[in-house]
């Protein structure tokens, strides 16, 4: 996406519109239902507006940490994310990092605790967050084992395995972003843009 388009989208915007643009640019694959979850770094002021923006979308969020007027926010759809956390590979990997209770709220509480410990300088960054963000588990494991080095290439995450699959996913994410931006530019709201799962 060109700098001009981003600049146009951000010009003269109030907080609410600025937050909507940030959501679209950083979370489009999630909004479109391609990705299971996403994170967003926003101001505390914007965290209050997030409730209003996401109303009617089925999207939930948890503030993982607050630090210097900023919030790290984790966004998800309850049913699909809960199902994802029960996958054998995800459960096994996260279990090795102390996420023993597969109940969604308990998992997010533990993640929040670990992110806060990192913010306080108590631990290294909890890179297992990649599993929460729907990155391939094998790539998350390799990233941790290799300390982020020696990847085949990087895009939305650092790729160590199955580059063909990763390129297809990156392409789908790019398409989702283009689609979401175009919809926003013609006047659609986040509620209109976001995929709403059938109940």
Instruction: Give residue-wise pLDDT tens across range 31-75.
Output: 999 999 999 999 988 888 999 999 999 999 999 999 889 999 999
What span, in angstroms and rounded, lies between the C-alpha atoms of 17 and 75? 18
Kindly give the interhelix angle for 15-31 and 44-54, rounded to the nearest 10 degrees. 60
Cα(15)–Cα(77) distance, rounded to whole angstroms?
24
Handedness of CA 8, 14, 17, 23 (dihedral sign): positive
- The confidence score (pLDDT) of residue 140 equals 98
The whole-angstrom separation of Cα 44 and Cα 68 is: 9
Q: What is the pLDDT of residue 199?
A: 41
Residue 67 phi, psi (nearest 5): -155, 120
Task: Copy the structure tokens of residue 170.
Answer: 């990156």
| Coil/strand/helix, residue 32 | coil
Structure token pair of residue 67: 């630090």
The predicted pLDDT at position 47 comes to: 85
- For residues 27 and 180, give the distance between their C-alpha atoms in angstroms, rounded to a whole number: 9
Q: What is the pLDDT of residue 4?
A: 59
pTM (global) more than 0.75: yes
- What is the chain's mean pLDDT, rounded? 92
Ranges of residues in the chain whose predicted pLDDT is under 70: 1-13, 197-199
Question: In 36-148, which residue ranges form alpha helices assigned H by DSSP?
Answer: 44-54, 78-85, 88-95, 104-119, 129-132, 137-145
As a whole number of angstroms, the distance between CA 142 and CA 132 comes to 16
**H/E stretch holding 29:** helix 15-31
Domain ranges of the chain: 3-186
């Amino acid at each position: 996406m060109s700098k001009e388009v981003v600049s146009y989208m951000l010009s003269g915007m109030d907080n609410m519109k600025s937050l909507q643009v940030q959501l679209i640019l950083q979370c489009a694959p999630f909004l479109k239902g391609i990705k299971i979850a996403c994170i967003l770094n926003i101001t505390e002021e914007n965290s209050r507006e997030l409730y209003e923006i996401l109303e009617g979308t089925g999207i939930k969020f948890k503030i993982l940490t607050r630090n210097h007027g900023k919030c790290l926010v984790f966004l998800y759809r309850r049913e699909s994310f809960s199902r994802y956390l029960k996958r054998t590979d995800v459960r096994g990997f996260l279990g090795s990092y102390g996420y023993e209770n597969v109940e969604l709220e308990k998992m997010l509480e533990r993640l929040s605790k670990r992110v806060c410990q990192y913010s306080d300088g108590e631990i290294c960054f909890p890179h297992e967050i990649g599993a929460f963000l729907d990155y391939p588990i094998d790539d998350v494991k390799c990233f941790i084992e290799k300390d982020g080095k020696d990847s085949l290439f990087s895009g939305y995450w650092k790729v160590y395995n199955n580059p063909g699959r990763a390129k297809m996913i990156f392409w789908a994410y790019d398409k989702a972003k283009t689609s979401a931006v175009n919809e926003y530019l013609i006047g659609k709201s986040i509620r209109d843009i976001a995929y709403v799962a059938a109940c």
